[in-house]
Amino acid sequence: MYADHSKKKLSNPVTLSHLKKMKAEGEKFTCLTAYDATFTHIMNEAGIETILVGDSLGMVIQGQDSTLPVTIEEMCYHVRAVKRGNSNAFLLADMPFMSYSKPELALDNAAKLMQAGANMVKLEGGSWLCDTVQLLSQRGIPVCAHLGLTPQAVHKLGGYKVQGKSDSAAEQIKQDSIDLVNAGADILLYECIPTELGKEITDMVNVPTIGIGAGQHTDGQVLVLHDMIGINLGKRPRFVKNFLTDGRSIQEAFEAYAQEVKEQTFPANEHGF
C-alpha cells in the first residue's frame, strides 16, 4: 500500500468515491488542517489526501480560547484561501458554532462554504443532527459528522475530556453513528474516544472514519497543523506527535506523517485512550 504513496504528490483529485475505495481496500488516508494557500500547496506536494479548514483557526490563528467566536464569514475567507492553494486534496470545511442550529440555517451556511470552495462540510453532534444531515445530503452537499469530543460543546462537556468511556456512553456514540449514516453522512470523524470504540465503529459502518485521539484503527487520521509541527502554544494533547524534528523541512514533516499513517505506526498505543 505504501509503495503507491511514494509518488508523494497527488496526481489526481481526491474524491469521496476515492476515499470510500481506500476504506474498502484497507488503505489508510491522511488529513491535516490548513488555513492558507501556502501550507495547502505544500500538503498537496506531500500527498496529503484530505485537508480540513478547521474552526480551530479561532485558537491557532486568531488567539481565541475556544472555537466558539469563529464566524461563517471567517470560515468562508479561509476556505477561499485554502482553495487557491489546493490542486488535488479533498477539502472539508467546519461549520462554526451555531451556524447549523436549524436545518434551513445549516443549508444556507453550508451553501456558502461550498461556494467558497469546500468539497464537504463538517458538523459537530449526534442524532439530533439527522434532519439537518438529510436535508444537506438531499441538496447535494456531502457531510462529515463529528462525534466524541465536540469542541463547540466544550462548556457543556465540562472541558476537553475523553468521551465514550462508559458502556452507555459508547453505545450512544455507536447509535448516533448509525443514525447519522442512515441520514446521509458520508464521513464520520471521532475525537478523543477509546481506541477500541474507534475500531468497533470503523468496522461497523460503511463510510470512511477519521480519528483524532481515536486510535489507530480509523480509516483516516487528522491532526491540527500547528500541533504536528510543534508550534502550538498550549499544552500538547496526548494524541499529538511533533513531526518537524531531525532537521526535516515542513514538506518532509508532512511526508513523514503520511508515511507513518500509511504504515500504521502513527498513532501508536501511547497516542490513544
Of 45, 176, 37, the closest CA to residue 117 belongs to 37
Q: Please report where in the chains the cell 481565541 appears, as a residue.
A: 64
Would you say 56 is a known binding-site residue?
A: yes
**Side-chain-facing half-sphere of 239: CA atoms under 13 Å:** 21
Q: Return the closest-CA partner of residue 129 out of 100, 107, 163.
A: 100
Number of H helices, E strands in the chain: 12, 8
Q: Which grid coordinates belong to 4? A: 503507491
Measured torsion, CA atoms of residues 30, 132, 207, 204, in degrees rounded to the nearest 10: 120
**Cα-Cα end-to-end distance for the chain:** 27
Q: Phi and psi of 267, rounded to 5°?
A: -75, 150
Tell me whether residue 191 is one of the annotated catalytic residues: yes
CA-nearest of 203, 132, 200 to 171 is 200
94 assigned to a ligand binding site: yes
Rounded distance between C-alpha atoms, residue 136 and residue 100, angstroms: 11
Was 65 annotated as part of a binding site? no
Catalytic annotation, pick one of 27, 171, 191, 255: 191
Question: Distance (Å, rounded) from C-alpha 191 to C-alpha 146?
Answer: 8
Residue type, 191: E
How far is CA 112 from each of CA 90, 106, 136, 248, rounded to the nearest angstrom? 17, 10, 13, 37
Binding site: residue ranges? Answer: 55-56, 94, 122, 124
Binding site for Mg(2+): residue ranges? Answer: 55, 94, 124
Binding site for 3-methyl-2-oxobutanoate: residue ranges? Answer: 55-56, 94, 122
Active-site residues, by number, are 191
